[in-house]
Amino acid sequence: MKQTILVTGGAGYIGSWIVKGLIEKGHSVRVSVRDKSKTEKYSHLLDIDKHYSGTVELWEADLTVLNSFDAAAKGCDSIIHVASPFTLSLKNPQENLIDPALKGTQNVLNAATKSGTVKKIVLTSSSAAIYGDNVDWNSSTMPNGLSEEVFNETSSIEHQPYSYSKVLAEREAWKIFESQNIWDLVVINPGFVMGPALTTTSNSGSIDFMNDVLTGKFKMGVPELEFSFVDVRDIAKAHILALENPKAKGRHITTNVEMNVMKMTQIIETVFPHKFKLPKMKSPKWLMVILGPLFGVTRQFVKLNIGHPLKLNNSKGKKELGMTYIPIEKTIVDMVNWMN
């Protein structure tokens, strides 16, 4: 059934793929942007719009402005709330991460309640709302990987502020959900999102990270740091499956494979031999403790993440949403090709 769907952050890295998937299916999509005069931020969506039966409308709204989403939500059947900053920077975390994540969630969900029409919300959370540091799995009692049952209890504004912003926002979403009986809530908890973007104006920590890898920031050695990676196109698919499936409930860890950064660079070197300034060795942990602060990495982060394996359990998403995943090699190669 065709719907009118508000996608917050629909011009961003993840949101653009969600919007593309929705208009391919013929839905009417409202995309929130902070400033409609900055057409370069969303022109790619209007280009995609020309090729499919669905439609795209642009609505101005700001995560941190009270009631900003009320007009955009009114008349919608559903909302996919993607908009939330992702940066690896530690500068001004309250202003740059926590305020927009928390206030944005409150504004969007309250707009849904006031709309009188919205029946379902799909929220983009993060695996960072499941755990704060890799050591959290090591100290858990979940050999098959951390599951949706757990919330990140170890992050704070001083340590892992991005993760802290995500767990605060998701907990607030569940609190607002429990206070009403008008709309249903389904949450997607992605791993570290990688893969090609639909626009060169995308601003994401994922793209910044890959750029650092390709341009030689880690040429002298890469930390033994393990992530749980997932393709941006699979994250978009998960949101749409969650929207369409009336039986989808609760949280869904949506991630493909755990892998350290050295393995990722080896995949790049195999496909693009000698093209990039890639690391040839791992940096010893003791050196990271000393040099980490020069790269904006705290000693506490090094202690709790470097050298610690990670495992997330994605079985619920496979079973309940029917998720399948793009091979990680294709994700990495497609991203490198897009960036070059």
Q: Which residues are marked as active site?
A: 166
Burial class (CB in 10 A: 0-12, 13-18, 19+), 295: exposed
Q: Hey, which residues does 94 pair with through a beta bridge?
A: none
Crossing angle of helices 328-339/261-271, nearest 10°? 70
Answer whether 19's CB lies under 8 Å from 29's CB.
yes
Record the tokens describing residue 189, joined without a space.
């908890």
Q: Is the distance from CB of 321 to CB of 252 less than 8 angstroms?
A: yes
Provide the strand spans (E) within the chain: 4-8, 28-33, 55-60, 78-81, 120-124, 184-190, 192-194, 222-223, 226-231, 250-254, 257-260, 282-283
Contact between 151 and 187 (Cβ < 8 Å)? no
What is the spatial distance between Cα 49 and Cα 52, in angstroms, rounded to a whole number?
6
Distance from C-alpha of 291 to C-alpha of 297, rounded to nearest angstrom: 8
DSSP class of residue 284 equals P
Picking from 160, 164, 136, 138, the residue whose alpha carbon sits closest to that of residue 150 is 136
Residue with tokens 């249903």: 184
Phi first, then psi: what are they for 262, rounded to 5°? -60, -40
